[in-house]
Amino acid sequence: MSRLQVTNLCKSFGALKVTDDVSLDVAPGELHAIIGPNGAGKTTLVAQLSGEMRPDSGRITLDGRDITRMPMPQRVRMGLARSFQITQILPAFTVLENVALAVQARRGSSFRFFAPAAEDTGLNGAAMATLREAGLDDRAGVRASALSHGEHRRLELAIALATEPQVLLLDEPLAGVGGEEADAFVARLAAMKGRFTMLLIEHDMDAVFALADRVSVLVYGQIVASGPPDEVRSDPAVRTAYLGEEESA
């Protein structure tokens, strides 16, 4: 059975069809990449899967359970986490606090009014472990707003990981990251493969073809091709619709 299943999903903004009859199956442990040109509707698709936006029609199931109308926080508690293309952090909080709050969301009640959260060793310990995994442990005490762009992207990933997900939706985790930092990031994602079921939106073709088990190509809201990386890469329709454009861009 597929872990995440999308059937006939549709979403329009006025006359613009941003998600046009999209169907997807992501098997447990699989890394499924979605590529497509700017404005293809990738972020909008993630927004619907995560519960930030309601689709106009269609169905989304997680482990067979219909979650199409479930609010975002409830999906997270079912193990569906996402990262954002545009970094979403708590700027006045430290790096550690950002991650500890995500741990707190999963563990114990947040209706506790007296004990100081900063001294909660359970939260801090789990948060530090996640920061280590994201390569940010040496920045734990720094205010999140003071991080570099690359560090922001790693914090974005760390926060998603700290919710203890089963399924990860990653919306261009490498956006704006280049060079060695990008290589290290790809290595980190590769190390995570198999532990989570992942839906990866990514522009970086090298990263996609190195990481993905399956690739789907989204153009104008429609999936025009889907399959193993090699097959998709050689698909003539894909080359003209997307990969060709990429080269000239």
Ligand X SMILES: Nc1ncnc2c1ncn2[C@@H]1O[C@H](COP(=O)(O)OP(=O)(O)OP(=O)(O)O)[C@@H](O)[C@H]1O
216 near ligand X (CB under 6 A)? no
**Residue 187, binding choice from ligand X, Mg ion, other proteins, none, Cβ under 5 to 8 Å by partner class:** none
**Residue 163, binding choice from other proteins, ligand X, Mg ion, none, Cβ under 5 to 8 Å by partner class:** other proteins
* Rounded distance between C-alpha atoms, residue 200 and residue 67, angstroms: 20
Q: At its nearest, how many Å lie between Mg ion and the CB of residue 108?
A: 34
Q: CB neighbours (10 Å) of residue 245?
A: 13
22 near ligand X (CB under 6 A)? no
Name the residue number minimizing CB distance to Mg ion.
43
DSSP-derived secondary structure letter, 38: T
Say which residues have a Cβ less than 8 Å from residue 188's Cβ, sequence separation at least 6. 133, 134, 135, 157
- Which tokens is 221 given? 């809201």
- Using CB under 6 A as the binding criterion, the count of chain residues that bind ligand X stands at 11
What Å distances lie between residue 13 and 6, 18, 49, 222, CA to CA? 20, 7, 17, 15
Of the candidate residues 3, 32, 42, 153, the single one contacting ligand X (CB under 6 A): 42
43 near Mg ion (CB under 5 A)? yes
Which is closer to ligand X, CB of 140 or CB of 177?
A: 177
50 near Mg ion (CB under 5 A)? no
Which is closer to other proteins, CB of 98 or CB of 197?
A: 98
* Rounded distance between C-alpha atoms, residue 16 and residue 10, angstroms: 11
